[in-house]
A and B are shown apart, each in its own frame.
Chain A
């Protein structure tokens, strides 16, 4: 059992860790809500690309044809990535940028994988969902914004853990789930805060922790390149990026990569000099075909000149952890019912944040009349300790 001093200390940590992150967490919960349904909203807003129906055995256009079609729209740009959507291989998305360096200035061209015809140029960097996405991911501030939100996520985790510690002293005289509806509004919200907080505990911990891990994604990928790829690229040291004109046929590279990892499907290709490849390779990222391995990626580095496989390194544990943490954050791995539950839990979390803020704002007002002499309401009186004495007196 916690001593009064211990309760005061835990309360202080709970109060300040949550106060600092609450505004950002409210923002993340609100922007995350539409992002859970981004696929459905995309269909509604007609921003999803639809492929014309064709028989399943329709022959495919070669990868070189697909890229040439996209490149023709923007001859002055370079192709950084090409990807295929998770739910079908009838489509290619080709990303074109001014240089191979990471940038926000990119064009995304959808090309039919059967005919090699351009289907649409997806609008990027605009619209409601883009604003939601950027506010959720980096506050329009790039890596610094991501890391800042990651820090706020860490504070949320601290607030959750301290909240669990404080659950016991609050609930000593109450049954699980009891909400004292007929006491003051403050007592009612205190009980709701405890109820919603303890029930959403596991989900909030997992979504908070995986969100925090995702803010480190850029750094994890960079470390992986440094850690693992630099050894593989030793023989190429000092060579410049392979010029487009000297590159071998991409279709051959693709086939070589797929032969190296049978039973996989393509996720995306990173071209020479881009952040997910080396200056000398087309790197093919292949995913498995079971529910779990479809979340993991097998990189295959194919020499851009010779179209020969250089290496297919095993993903290190930290990249695997990053990839597995993504579905756990997005809630996109259990169909529509899971998305709806995700949204409900998100709304419950908004209620926990909102009620916590309310309890802090009203930390003195109604309690003043019922304070015990030993705990006078005063400057620096911790929120939870006040709430606790108040709760006892009104119970």
Chain B
């Protein structure tokens, strides 16, 4: 598998997995910054799920190169959407 296609497939899942794992661990070792990081590390994946799973009334644009494309929801709000974060 080429590097770019590997990242296109696994970039997001890997980033979210690392983020979740760091969030799960950080709150164990610190009650200050660790708790804050855990809310971010575990909250962001939840937000990503919500963003993608939310039903939209308009069809999404066709896939384009993952490094540069933007995605627009039904509310016309465009968000950068990239595997290279």
Interface segment out of the listed A89-97, A166-174, A279-287, A307-315: A166-174
Residue of B nearest to A207 (CB): B24
- Contact (Cβ within 8 A) B43 A341: yes
- Within the complex, which residue of A172, A174, A292, A341 is in contact with B46, where a contact is CB–CB below 8 Å? A341
Residue count of chain A within 8 Å CB distance of chain B: 39
* A348 → B minimal CB distance (Å): 6
Task: Tell me if B's interface is mostly helix, strand, loop or mixed.
Answer: helix
- Contact (Cβ within 8 A) B53 A192: yes
- Contact (Cβ within 8 A) B53 A168: no
- Within the complex, which residue of A172, A199, A202, A295 is in contact with B48, where a contact is CB–CB below 8 Å? A199
Residue of A nearest to B69 (CB): A175
Does residue B78 face the partner (Cβ distance < 8 Å to A)? no
Interface positions of B from 28 to 71, Cβ below 8 Å from A? 28-31, 34-35, 38-39, 42-43, 45-46, 48-49, 51-53, 55-56, 59-60, 63, 66
Task: Tell me if A's interface is mostly helix, strand, loop or mixed.
Answer: helix
Note all chain A residues with C-beta closer than 8 A to B8: 175-176
Note all chain A residues with C-beta closer than 8 A to B51: 177
Given A202-B21, A295-B28, answer yes or no on A337-B13 (Cβ-Cβ < 8 Å).
no
- Contact (Cβ within 8 A) A176 B46: no
* A344 → B minimal CB distance (Å): 5
Given A176-B13, A202-B17, A202-B21, answer yes or no on A334-B53 (Cβ-Cβ < 8 Å).
no
Residue of B nearest to A348 (CB): B49
Note all chain B residues with C-beta closer than 8 A to A177: 12, 48, 51-52
Note all chain B residues with C-beta closer than 8 A to A229: none
Note all chain B residues with C-beta closer than 8 A to A195: 49, 52-53
- Within the complex, which residue of B13, B35, B42, B48 is in contact with A201, where a contact is CB–CB below 8 Å? B13
Residue of B nearest to A178 (CB): B60
- Within the complex, which residue of A171, A192, A203, A295 is in contact with B42, where a contact is CB–CB below 8 Å? A203
Partner-B contacts on A (CB < 8 A): 1, 167-168, 171-179, 181-182, 192, 195-196, 198-203, 206, 291-292, 295, 324, 327-328, 333-335, 337-338, 341, 344-345, 348
